[in-house]
Structures are given as structure tokens and as C-alpha cells.
Amino acid sequence: MSADYEAVIGLEAHVELATVTKLFCGCLNEFGAEPNTNVCPVCLGLPGSLPVLNRTVVEYALRFAAALDFHVPEESIFARKNYFYPDMPKDYQISQYEEPILVDGQIEIDGVRIGIERAHLEEDTGKTTHMGGGGRIHEADYSLVDYNRAGVPLMEIVSRPDIRTAEQARAYVSELRGVLKTIGVSDVKMEEGSMRVDANVSVRKVGATEFGTKVEVKNMNSLRSLGRAIDFEIERQVEAIEAGERIVQETRHWDEADGRTHGMRTKEGSSDYRYFPEPDLVPLAPSAEMRTAAAGQVPELPQARRARLIAEWGIAETDARVLVDVEGLADFAEAAVAALTDGAARDVANWCTGDVLGYLNETGLSIEVLPLAPDGLAELVGLVAAGTLSRNQAKDVLAECLREPKRPKQVVEERGLEQVSDTGALAAVVDEVLAANADAVDEYRAGDDKVKKKKRGFLMGECMKALKGQGNPQMLNQLLDERLG
């Protein structure tokens, strides 16, 4: 981007809430069931049916409010958003409009406060599959609708236009995901569609106070594509302005394949949604008890946890981020640290972000299915700290413990890996080697630095050979120093 411009970005995240049942009926909220099996008169919008609000959804929203410092108004109102679409059973969506359940939250990204204007509850639609014609509605022979998803609870989280870069946008979404996952209200999987993020992007000259014309960008299905789409859109708008063109307020689709955003040729239906208060539901007024209970259900949030681990374990910010971001990794590390008898928490963290995470990434396994228990890792760290294993030996032992249900000590015994750290035994070996290689000792004593270094390495190698590689290298070095003078 030209240095003369800055971007103004606001994000709208739609998050599927992980309740057992749907927003307004008792049907299961379940991914991947046979089409049209989790349906009833209410979520099919049959004539005469009426919605009844799922209390758990309100509890989840209140918990989210407590986590991100939202204001929860006394009352919020459900409203109907009217538009025709075959996958919407009532041809209106029950949502919240002028009076959402949560307002004025915030999230901090690297010391920058990003405001969250509102979060509101709404129902999801069904899912349409167009048959024939390459899966597009206009060329399809016919379409099939699965209403299992209809009525699944969604929370739409709308940030203020406080974001300035694609990087910041990614960090915001990543933090939001961490919070939602930590408080247990959503799976937040962008790839599976349980979290969808749209971006409102505009650009303006640095120093300008007015906003530019904003463009809504949709269809990003990963953090990576969110970042790419925003970067592309910023470039596109700056180039257009520089070329003297006007930015058109529109919705553009991100195309992952060609790496560009594309304007939609025609808008589906009218944009006048004729919102009005949903007469089938009473105003939503969470009780004082519900509010208090929600506040008590917020566990330590990612940001606070990172700060604590950095302070307590003396680890780097990047390592803390990895520990907290990877599902279950920080829990594993904390359990290992708790079981530690010898060694540092920092070492536990290093093994976790290094070899353990590497193995998880390589195999695609999740941490809870590993045969290695947290106290097994604690044992390994203890063996290194006690000098029983060198770091390289520990790496091999850990590799085996990640694959098979064995304790580190068991592997050490089976392989006869115990490091020789007994001074007497080591001294005997050193003396034997020096006696057998008197020439080399003489050359060492007479030689210049270069020769000294070479001969010293040779003698060390002979010692290790005699010890089958299991001698404690620090102690061997010390003994050699003493004898060679």
C-alpha cells in the first residue's frame, strides 16, 4: 500500500454456538446428521408453530459478555429480518436489530484496544445444494434443501472500525476464537463454517478523519484467506483511487483460487429487510441471577494466561502464544509443570512447543490421545536436569514416549542409555585413553592453537568411544582440562 493511505477495517463474525439444541426448538444442534432429520414444526417454520428461546443460548451470550466486558442492557428485542430464500423456512430470519443482547465490548490486541460495537443472537438458515449446472443456482436442474442447520443458534459479533491492517484483523479473529473456545460456547472452526468472518474495508489518506466508502468482503474460510482478502482489497481500493476512480459501496466475494475479490453481479432479493419486533417472542430480560452466574463461569482468558505463563515460567511471548493457541497444549504443559520434581518450567514449555507440537503437527493427532502423560514429560525433564540424559538422548527418548505407552525411565533402561557421570569411572577412562595415545598428548603440548584444538578433539572422541557415547561431556571436558594442563 502506498504510504499515503491507511485502511479502516471492521469485522463481522458469525459464530455458531455449541448448544445441545437449537435456538428456538428442542431439535439437536448437530453437525453432519442425515439431511432433514433434526427438524420439527418450529424449525421448519410450519404454519402455527411458535419459537421458544433456548435458555442456554442466553447463558452463553452472558458468559461472552463477562469475558469481553460488554454491557448487557436490561432488555433486548428479537426482530424479524424479512427476505425470501428457499433455505429459510419462514422467509424471515429471527435476529436482533436495534436492541441487541450485548453492546460495547472490547478486545486488546498487542496493546491496542479494538472496540466491539455489539453482539446479537440470531438463527441460522438451512443449506441448499444445487444439483446439476456445476452447483450454481442459476444453471441448476433442481435444488435440495437440508433444514438441519435451520434454527441453529448464531452470535454475530460486530467490531468497531478500529482495525487498520490485515495482520491486526487476523490477530483480532484469532483472539476472538481463543476467547470463545476458552469459555466453551463455540467450536469456532472457520474451515467447518462454525465461524464465518466478513470484513468491511475502506481506505483513506493518512490523517483524514472521514471514512472512505466501505466495501464488504465475504467468503473467507480461514485466517489466512481473511488476511489475503483484506490485503488484496486495500491494494485494489488504493489503486482505484489513485487512478481517479470512485469506490462503489458493494459486497465482494473473495476467490481463494485467483486470490482476488469479485463484485457480485446481482444482489439476491431486496436489501430492504423490513425489520420489525418479533411478536412471537417477549423481550429478553436476563435475570440478575443469570448475569451473576455467567460472570462466575469465565475461566482464565488467553491473554491473561499468556501473561501469567510469561511471568511465572520466564518464557517468550511467542512461546506463550503457541502454548495457549494450540488446543490443550497449555493445559498439558501446566500439568507437567505441576508434576515436576527436578528441572525448570521453562524446559517443559520448550519441549511442548518444540518436539511435542512438532509430533502433533506431523501426525495430525490431538494432545489428549498421546500416550505421553504430563507427568511423563515432567520425568523426562527431571532426567535431563539430573544429568542422567543429555539433551540429544532425551530427544530420542521423548520420540519413543510420544509413539508408545512407555515412561521415559523405562526407555532409558531398555536402551541402556544412562549417562556415565561417575567421576571415578570417567577419570579411569580418561587416564587409559591418554596412556594409549601418548603421541597425541605430546603433539598437543607442543603444538599451536590449531594443533591443540585438533588433538583435544581427537582425545575427547576416543574417550566417548570408550564410553559408547554415554559419558557426561561436561565432566569429560573438565577431566581432560585437568590432565592436559
Name the residues that contact Zn ion, by CB under 5 A.
Answer: 25, 27, 40, 42-43
Which residues within the stretch 67-86 sit at the binding site for another protein (CB under 8 A)? 80, 82, 84, 86
Instruction: Find the shortest distance in angstroms from Cβ 101 to Zn ion.
Output: 22
Residue 141 exposed, middle or buried by CB count within 10 Å (0-12, 13-18, 19+): exposed
∠ CA 478-479-483, nearest 5°, is 120
CA–CA gap between residue 128 and residue 184 (Å, rounded)? 29
Asked whether the beta carbons of 124 and 134 are under 8 A apart, the reply is no
CA–CA gap between residue 186 and residue 154 (Å, rounded)? 10
CA–CA gap between residue 46 and residue 30 (Å, rounded)? 21
Residue reference for cell 414444526 = 41
CA–CA gap between residue 464 and residue 306 (Å, rounded)? 42
Identify which of residues 84 and 211 has a Cβ nearer to another protein in the complex.
84
Instruction: Find the shortest distance in angstroms from Cβ 57 to another protein.
Output: 14
Identify which of residues 125 and 353 has a Cβ nearer to another protein in the complex.
125
Among another protein, Zn ion, none, residue 282 binds (CB under 5-8 Å by kind): another protein
Asked whether the beta carbons of 309 and 329 are under 8 A apart, the reply is no
Identify which of residues 275 and 458 has a Cβ nearer to another protein in the complex.
275
Instruction: Find the shortest distance in angstroms from Cβ 153 to another protein.
Output: 16
Best CA proximity match to 90, nearest among 124, 58, 128 = 124
The site string for another protein over 3-42 (x = CB under 8 A, - otherwise) reads --------------------------------------x-
The site string for another protein over 132-151 (x = CB under 8 A, - otherwise) reads -----xx----x-x------
∠ CA 311-367-174, nearest 5°, is 60
Instruction: Find the shortest distance in angstroms from Cβ 40 to another protein.
Output: 9
Asked whether the beta carbons of 71 and 119 are under 8 A apart, the reply is no
Among Zn ion, another protein, none, residue 49 binds (CB under 5-8 Å by kind): another protein
Among another protein, Zn ion, none, residue 177 binds (CB under 5-8 Å by kind): none
CA–CA gap between residue 237 and residue 244 (Å, rounded)? 11
Among another protein, Zn ion, none, residue 437 binds (CB under 5-8 Å by kind): none
CA–CA gap between residue 117 and residue 104 (Å, rounded)? 5
Best CA proximity match to 121, nearest among 92, 78, 69, 85 = 78
Identity of the residue numbered 132 = G
Identify which of residues 146 and 233 has a Cβ nearer to another protein in the complex.
146
Radius of gyration of the CA atoms of the chain, in A: 31
Identity of the residue numbered 479 = L
Among another protein, Zn ion, none, residue 145 binds (CB under 5-8 Å by kind): another protein
Q: How many CB atoms lie within 10 A of CB 81?
A: 18
Instruction: Find the shortest distance in angstroms from Cβ 154 to another protein.
Output: 19
Instruction: Find the shortest distance in angstroms from Cβ 26 to Zn ion.
Output: 7
The site string for another protein over 407-446 (x = CB under 8 A, - otherwise) reads ----------------------------------------
Position among 10, 23, 64, 89 found at the interface with another protein (CB under 8 A): 89
CA–CA gap between residue 320 and residue 310 (Å, rounded)? 6
Among Zn ion, another protein, none, residue 27 binds (CB under 5-8 Å by kind): Zn ion
Identify which of residues 130 and 406 has a Cβ nearer to another protein in the complex.
130
Among Zn ion, another protein, none, residue 280 binds (CB under 5-8 Å by kind): another protein
240 forms part of the interface with another protein (CB under 8 A) = no
Residue reference for cell 446439476 = 132
92 forms part of the interface with another protein (CB under 8 A) = yes
Instruction: Find the shortest distance in angstroms from Cβ 137 to another protein.
Output: 8
Among Zn ion, another protein, none, residue 299 binds (CB under 5-8 Å by kind): none
DSSP letter at 24? S
Asked whether the beta carbons of 341 and 382 are under 8 A apart, the reply is yes
CA atoms within 13 A on the CB side of 270: 10
CA–CA gap between residue 336 and residue 358 (Å, rounded)? 18
Instruction: Find the shortest distance in angstroms from Cβ 411 to Zn ion.
Output: 54
Instruction: Find the shortest distance in angstroms from Cβ 377 to another protein.
Output: 51
- Bridge partners (DSSP) of residue 201 are 9, 215
CA–CA gap between residue 343 and residue 382 (Å, rounded)? 5
Instruction: Find the shortest distance in angstroms from Cβ 308 to another protein.
Output: 43
Identify which of residues 44 and 466 has a Cβ nearer to another protein in the complex.
44
Which residues within the stretch 249-288 sit at the binding site for another protein (CB under 8 A)? 272, 274-276, 279-282
Among Zn ion, another protein, none, residue 385 binds (CB under 5-8 Å by kind): none
Which residues within the stretch 37-56 sit at the binding site for another protein (CB under 8 A)? 41, 44-53
Identify which of residues 151 and 376 has a Cβ nearer to Zn ion in the complex.
151
The phi and psi torsions of 45 (rounded to 5 degrees) equal 65, 35
For 364-373, b/e burial (b = at least 16 CB within 10 A) is eeebeebebb
Instruction: Find the shortest distance in angstroms from Cβ 12 to another protein.
Output: 20
Q: What are the residues binding another protein (CB under 8 A)?
A: 41, 44-53, 80, 82, 84, 86, 89-92, 137-138, 143, 145, 272, 274-276, 279-282
